[in-house]
Amino acid sequence: MAVASSGFSLPEFSPRIDQVGVEERAARFTKRSIKNDSKVQGLKLVLNMIDLTTLEGKDTDGKVKQLCYKAMHPHDALPGLPTVAAVCVYPTMVRVAKKALEGSGIRVASVATAFPSGQSSKDVKLRDTKFAVNEGADEVDMVISRGKFHAGEYNFVFDEIAMIKEACGEARLKVILETGELGSFDKVRRASDIAMMAGADFIKTSTGKIQPAATMPVTLVMLEAIRDFYYKTGRMVGMKPAGGISKSKLALHYLVMVKEVLGDDWLNNDWFRFGASSLANDVLMQLVKMQTGTYQAANYFSVD
């Protein structure tokens, strides 16, 4: 479906969301019984879907290099582990990460567009994005203008995403909705639809700087938006919940949800990611527990 930005109006393709229904449905995904073999496979898949992230003012080259090493060597004591999917950093750190990850196949994702608030001019956002791409980012994580969205200026939000998408060139674009600031499932659904229509390759829940970040119900709403969009247009869009997912068990619940809403096609790191920093170690601890049979302690695993 081709959508001209000028003729864009929303309510037609954004259905209302039944909040109680979504919450109950999301809760039911946590009740699946997962047997040991599936659990090990699931945990490895989770590890392979992680965008290992550091987005702090205090980030240094050294910190980013260390994170990249962790991305390539999650836990060498346990052979046969996959690497993570990507390393996610600020634009200024892209070059460092790119160099550190050379030849590993791990992608570099960069946040852009005045992350995390998105409160800046069009020009700054464009240059921010182009800078990240020129530095070598394989993926760009942009934020939408939540203020404009709340003010009802959906065309503005749409145009902005389309503009950034164009600036990305070959790089895949993830659009962060910052669901913690949107306020209702209806608005999450609407923002998801706008982002996908405007060309997002991924839609992503949160920056990780705002509470609440990713939750299962909000992710479910977005997954259903992706499903409906796929049925309508035939185009697959990826999903990335970010922030607040730090336990393996919860990550497995997310996989169950993806499988039951979108199916096996989405169960790989081309179409599903976890934005997380501490999840990786919990997954590793669980994998070692599955192998040795003894409960593990955090201080036997590298910090990052």
Q: How far is CA 77 from CA 21, 73, 237, 282, in A?
A: 44, 10, 36, 15
Q: Which of 248, 293, 303, 304 binds another protein (CB under 8 A)?
A: 293
Q: Per rule CB under 8 A, is residue 33 in the interface with another protein?
A: no
Nearer to another protein, 76 or 170 (CB): 76
Nearer to another protein, 220 or 285 (CB): 285
Distance of closest approach, residue 297 Cβ to another protein, in angstroms: 3
Distance of closest approach, residue 299 Cβ to another protein, in angstroms: 8
Q: Which class for 155: exposed (0-12), middle (13-18), buried (19 or more C-beta within 10 A)?
A: middle
Q: Per rule CB under 8 A, is residue 36 in the interface with another protein?
A: no
Distance of closest approach, residue 292 Cβ to another protein, in angstroms: 9
Residues 222-281 that bind another protein (CB under 8 A): none
Distance of closest approach, residue 288 Cβ to another protein, in angstroms: 9
Supply the residues annotated as catalytic: 141, 204, 240
Q: Which of 5, 92, 120, 296 binds another protein (CB under 8 A)?
A: 296
**Near another protein by CB under 8 A, which window of 121-129, 141-149, 156-164, 291-299?**
291-299
Which residue ranges make up the site for another protein (CB under 8 A)?
A: 293-298, 300
